[in-house]
Structure 1
Amino acid sequence: MTRRKAQFFLQNAESSNVIEVGKPFYKTIRGRWKTDYFGNENPIVLELACGKGEYTVGLAQAFPDVNFIGVDIKGDRIARGSKAAETLGLQNVAFLRTDINFLTEFFREGEVSEIWITFPDPQPRPKQEKHRLTHPRFLALYKLLLVPGGTLHLKTDSPELFAYSLEQVKQANGVDLQYTTDLYNSPLNEIHLGIKTMFEQLFFDKGFTM
């Protein structure tokens, strides 16, 4: 482990807005985010595979009356989002370090109002299909966690993942679908508030549209 990574992991261990193995909330927080962590009844929004947490932090700034939780397995990534939230004094932000496959261990049915998936790994090879975050097994998981009528947001620069995801969502029962192939020139872009992940900014700077 590099010294820089070691510093990130130490920061996570000391940060109150990071929940990970070894911390009390890690085993007790399921169904108790509002009462035990945030101390309010505001809606809960997840950013899955949040990376450095750009969306988690950006949305938390824009919506102080909503609770945002970034989820990622990479500790050195969420450390950056954790630090950014602390620097900004945000009290409506948390980061959960875990595998997305284990979300039901941390959230109860209907505990989440919205889910954001921003620029996930497209897992392009056929044998990787089950790892795509819009695979039917994940969509079923999201449906379980979301409140009735809850929203799933997806942003991707992969045409293949976009087409795959669109087909899977269309096949899902009870899904109200809104989508665009040109986000930056669509009314839907207002929802995103100009927030961009590091990967999205690189993509945008090359002149590509969504």
Structure 2
Amino acid sequence: MGRKKLERFAQNEVNPNVVQPGKEIFETIKGNWKRQQFKNEHPLVVELACGRGEFTVGLGRRYPDKNFVGVDIKGSRIWKGSSQASEEGLENVAFLRTQIERLEESFAPGEVDELWITFPDPRPKDRDEKKRLTSPRFLQLYKQIMHPGGHIHFKTDNTGLFTYTEELFSSRSDIRVKRQTRDFYSSEWKDAHHGIQTRYEKLFMDKGETIKYLEFSFVPD
């Protein structure tokens, strides 16, 4: 392991906006994000597979009246976003180092008010369907932690993954699609994201890919 990576891991250990295994708060944070990490009752917004945290930090800047948590398993990626948030004094931004499959261990039922799934690995092979972040397996997980009526946003450049998601949602009575487009930056909703883009989003757009976007919520039982 390189020295830079070791230095970043060491900084994550002491950075108060990083919640990860080995820290006492990691064991007690479930159900307590607003009170324990953010010390307010503002809405809780979570971004999955946040990478370097560009989007999480960008949202934190734009919406000081909301709390934002970026989730990723890679500590070296989280370090970038957590360091930037600290430098800018964004006390409404934090990062959780964990596997997405284990979200229910860190968020209580109904604790998350809004969720972002931004440019996940499309997992195009049929045998990897269960690993897609919009597969039934993950949808059930989101349904557990989402506040009733909470909004979930999904952005991707991948046509195959978007088509898979559209077809899956059309077969489910517990999902209500609110917004849907295959060319987000030509849609009426483009200004709602305030120009906040991830590194991968910029790369895809430079290659001529259109950005697909879908916003949905779960119908209350």
Q: CA deviation at 1:32?
A: 0.6
Structure 1 equivalent of residue 42 of structure 2 = 42
The residue correspondences of 1:53-68 to structure 2 (distance < 5 A) are 53-68=53-68
SS in 2 for 1:187: coil
Which structure has greater strand proportion? 2
Q: Does 1:25 align with 2:22?
A: no
Structure 2 equivalent of residue 195 of structure 1 = 196
Q: CA deviation at 1:171?
A: 2.7
Task: Supply the AA of the counterpart residue of 1:172.
Answer: R
Q: CA deviation at 1:173?
A: 3.0
Structure 1 equivalent of residue 215 of structure 2 = none
Q: Which moved more, 1:145-154 or 1:173-182?
A: 173-182
SS in 2 for 1:152: strand
Taking the aligned partners of 1:173 and 1:41, their CA distance within structure 2 comes to 32
Deviations 1:164-195 (A, max 9, x none): 11122233333221210010011122232111
Q: CA deviation at 1:87?
A: 1.1
Structure 2 equivalent of residue 160 of structure 1 = 160
Name the % identity.
52
Q: CA RMSD of the aligned region, Å?
A: 1.0
Task: Supply the AA of the counterpart residue of 1:197.
Answer: T
Q: CA deviation at 1:7?
A: 1.6
Task: Supply the AA of the counterpart residue of 2:196.
Answer: I
Deviations 1:111-169 (A, max 9, x none): 01111011100011111111000010101111111111111111111100010111222
Task: Supply the AA of the counterpart residue of 2:47.
Answer: E
The residue correspondences of 1:1-210 to structure 2 (distance < 5 A) are 1-177=1-177, 178-210=179-211
TM-score with structure 1 setting the length: 0.97
Q: How many residue pairs align between the two structures?
A: 210
Q: Give the unaligned 5+ runs of structure 1.
A: none
SS in 2 for 1:176: strand
SS in 2 for 1:51: coil
SS in 1 for 2:115: strand
